[in-house]
Amino acid sequence: MEKILNIYFTTEDKKTYHIALSHPKDDLSKATVEAVAQKIVDTRVLNNDKHTLTAFKKATYTTREVSELQ
């Protein structure tokens, strides 16, 4: 089963921006993810001309099961 961690941010223009991370650890807490998200906002590493991240909004897991056809 494939798992993806989605981290959502609010932007300066009140829109939502998200990043998706493949194969995250299973035991992540909201506080842990929120702390990392805050570092991303503070360092401005993902900011560009199209968006400026201002705050952590939420985090979700997406799981997907992939089966090869036989």
Q: Is residue 69 part of a domain?
A: no
Q: Any idea what the Cα angle at residue 44 is, between residues 38 and 47, rounded to 5°?
A: 120
pLDDT at 55: 98
Q: How many domains does the chain have?
A: 1
What is the rounded distance in angstroms from the CA atom of residue 59 to the CA atom of residue 70? 35
Residue 6 has pLDDT above 90, yes or no: yes
Q: Is residue 70 part of a domain?
A: no
Question: Could you read off the pLDDT of 20-58 as tens digits, one per residue?
Answer: 999 999 889 999 999 999 999 999 999 999 999 999 999
CA distances from 50 to 10, 17, 25, 62, 64 (A): 13, 11, 30, 26, 30
Segments forming the whole domain that contains residue 13? 2-64
Q: 7, 59 in Cβ contact below 8 A?
A: yes
pLDDT at 1: 81
